[in-house]
Amino acid sequence: MIIWKEPYFYLETKHTSYIMRILSNGMLHHVYYGAKIPKEDMGWYQLFQGKGFSPAVTVNGLVSSADLIPQEYPSFGRGDYRCPAFAVETADGRRLNELTYDHHEILEEKPALPGLPSLDVNMEESNSLAVTLKDAACGYEVVLHYTVLEEEDVIARHTEIRNRGKDAVYVRRAASLSLDIERDNLEFLSLSGAWGRERYPNRRPLSPGTTSIESRRGSSSHQLNPFAALASPDATETAGEVYGFSLIYSADFQILTEVSQYGCTRLQAGLNPETFSWKMEAGETFVTPEALMTYSGHGFQEMSHHFHDVCRRHLGRSAARDMVHPIIINSWEAMYFDLSEEKLKQFLADCEGLDIDTFVVDDGWFGRRTDDQSSLGDWFVDEERFPGGLHGVAECCRNAGMKFGIWFEPEMISRDSRLYKAHPDWCIRGQEEPVECRHQLVLDMSRKEVVDGIYEQMAAFIREYDITYIKWDFNRNLTDNGSFFLPPDRQREHTHRYMLGVYSLMHRLTETFPQVFFEGCSGGGGRFDFGILYYMPQIWTSDDSDAAERLRIQYGTSYAYPPASMVAHVSACPNHQTGRITPFATRGEVAQMCNYGYELAVGQLASEEKTMIREQVRKHRRLDEMIQRGIFYRLCSPFTGNLCAWQMVSEDQKRSYVMAAFLMAEPNPGGQYLRLQGLRKDGQYKVEPLGITAGGETLMRAGIPVIAPQRDYTAFAFELEWLSE
């Protein structure tokens, strides 16, 4: 709900309030964000004072300083020395910005963000506010957009800058959101990592000065995810205050905090100003990516639930939201580049009877791609390698009762390719020879003809083979940033233009082929963000398929992203990334929390393992509804102990699934009780395989016994079913 009661804006979700007010000098003062409070006059709620070394401003009859006042969208050069939310320069070099309130509108429809992924919100449930601020001297307007998602306790924000003047201006910085919280004892939690170990939670106290996470890779990155939380020092999974922030964007970003001299913590999230700039001609508008913010008074878990709910209910094409996530078998770790019609057909024959939905031919099927040195950009089948194309394989796949899926890496080009010979200028490059990574270059997706060229190739292939599943990979990051096709003063627009081009390709393909289920991937989870999840319902969580490593990766990823967005496969042992050996059953249980599949040479499995696959597939179908729509609880962290446990509960709380995995076996071990969460307090639950019946309250307060195993990497799983009273 959004209420305007001059001079206050009250934005309310089910459990939170967000309040701002217009000060007498036109400044937009951020008053409060946190647990829900009544909508009252809060004129007394301020710490305004005049301060030395901070120019004075008189607001509402009081002398204060811009450096002290919490603001909605702070600017540069007029006395607030903290980090500005935006910076606009005029062609004649003016770079002082001062915004004052001009007008506002409460909108009946959430405004579209042209070319960008954003939440899809039914306005019967929520509403949107647009507050227009003006810089009178330079003639541009800044519109702050807020959409309130009441049920999910989330506010979506973005910023629009409109050049109302006669000359061009340059946007040097434009945060999607800026938030001033008047406290300085908050801790910062981010998800950091590297290839093969993505999104480990990293928590540290903030101190005076800035702390930031960012990407300048042209991708949201394996290293730092576009998500952050600010938490009270006492915050745990289930208690304490936590603010969560996330961007719906997949390229260069920055999330920055600054603790000021007067104990205010400023957080800003948006495009990375270091690699970004945008020229706006007179009359043009620039729109930032959308950012999400949420508040939880009950620890990290509730913050995660807010993000999970928003992602599942409001992100992405609504048709894709209802698509069944298929159980897949992927060729990569089974065969890598060693593909032939005969091998693929044999592989399919080996899969007979496993009841898997979709077979995905990964890298290596196109052009002359027998290793990673060639053919990216040549999205057709080479008749010498596959006489008659992949039709024989596709037919065999369908005869085996499976759908046919395929791997693409649409944004890339190999020097050794027909595409490169025809269009050597299609790759991103500067004056120097472009830098190769995995022997490949990146296509300049900021150019429409490049996007069109790749679209045509992909569309032809999808039609020819009646493809229903595409794994969309992105196996290197950008270098040589810039483009000969942009003038000098637009070079810094390149990375954002690249991303807009990629989004436009994703948009066209998903619109034209609504039957195709897309999976995002970037060397595993190198581009795991809400931007990609808008177009693709799931993302390959990591190239690290080792079950012990996946405990950490999936646990960490769940801080911002729901299990329904993650993909996990059972792979072979010794594991190809770590050399570790884990029991087949453990690999299955760890993968069960995500969208599920296999990635191994089925022909080399023992018959008991094949029997286990059939059981695991049946189990996954049983759990699928809970994975897609249930509530996810982190019970024990693999980052703090030897036991990792999580739980899923169905929406109606009648079913639950619990997974508890021990890492290393210990000598003379004891055991422990695992306290469950989210169950009904009435009636009883049957708990299998314990063969017991117990009340939800008992299971939550007393817990279920788990005896430590005498084997490394052992997982236990429990399924609960509610029995009426």
Residues that bind ligand GLA (CB under 6 A): 332, 362-363, 407, 473, 475, 521, 523-524, 540, 543
**Residues in Cβ contact with 494 at an 8 Å cutoff, skipping those fewer than 6 apart:** 428, 446, 481, 482, 483, 486
In the complex with ligand GLA, which residue's Cβ is closer, 540 or 722?
A: 540
Cβ distance to ligand GLA smaller for residue 475 or 477? 475
In angstroms, what is the minimal distance from the CB of 438 to ligand GLA? Answer: 8
CB of 473 to ligand GLA, least distance (A): 5
Query: Could you give the CA distance from residue 723 to residue 713 in angstroms, rounded to a whole number?
Result: 32
- Name residues whose C-beta falls within 8 Å of residue 421's C-beta, 6 or more positions apart in sequence: none
> Closest separation between CB of residue 540 and ligand GLA, Å?
6
Confirm if 401 and 411 have CB atoms less than 8 A apart. Answer: no
Q: Residue 194 or 723: which CB sits closer to ligand GLA?
A: 194
- H/E element, 254: strand 253-259
| Dihedral sign from CA coordinates of 556, 15, 33, 162 | positive
Q: Which residue is nearest to ligand GLA (CB)?
A: 363
**466 flagged as catalytic:** no
Burial class (CB in 10 A: 0-12, 13-18, 19+), 487: exposed
Whose Cβ is closer to ligand GLA: residue 540's or residue 559's? 540
Q: Is residue 322 classed exposed, middle or buried when 0-12, 13-18 and 19+ CB atoms within 10 A define those classes?
A: exposed
> How many angstroms from the chain centroid is the CA of residue 339?
32
Do you find a cis peptide bond into 537, omega within 30 degrees of 0? no
Task: Find the shortest distance in angstroms from Cβ 408 to ligand GLA.
Answer: 10
Note if the bond before 70 is cis, omega within 30 degrees: no
Catalytic choice (135, 416, 444, 473): 473
Beta-sheet pairing, 209-214 with 278-280: unpaired
Q: Which CB atom, from 317 or from 476, has the smaller least distance to ligand GLA?
A: 476
Q: Find the shortest distance in angstroms from Cβ 362 to ligand GLA.
A: 5
Tell me whether residue 237 or residue 363 sits nearer to ligand GLA (CB atom). Answer: 363
Residues, the chain, total?
Answer: 725
Shortest separation between residue 364's beta carbon and ligand GLA, angstroms: 8
Nearer to ligand GLA, 73 or 407 (CB): 407
> Rounded to whole angstroms, how far apart are CA atoms 29 and 326?
49
Establish whether the linkage from the previous residue to 689 is cis, with ω within 30° of 0: yes
Has 425 been annotated as catalytic? Answer: no
Give me the DSSP letters along 81-127.
-S--SEEEEETT-------EEEEEEEESSPPP-TTS------TTT-E
Taking the complex as a whole, the smallest distance from the CB of residue 524 to ligand GLA amounts, in Å, to 5
Q: Is the dihedral of CA 33, 38, 40, 43 positive or negative?
A: negative
**Which one is catalytic: 480, 543, 544, 624?**
543
Beta bridge pairs of residue 507: none
Residues near 673 by beta carbon (within 8 Å), at least 6 away in sequence: 702, 703, 704, 705, 706
Q: Is the CB of 237 or the CB of 333 nearer to ligand GLA?
A: 333
CB of 427 closer than 8 Å to CB of 443: yes
Q: Is 290 left (phi over 0), alpha (psi -120 to 50) or beta?
A: beta
Identity of residue 167: D
In whole angstroms, what is the distance from residue 544 CA to residue 550 CA? 7
By C-beta, is 386 or 474 nearer to ligand GLA? Answer: 474
Shortest CB 337 distance to ligand GLA, Å: 8
Nearest approach in angstroms of CB 463 to ligand GLA is 23
Among all residues, which ones are annotated catalytic? 473, 543
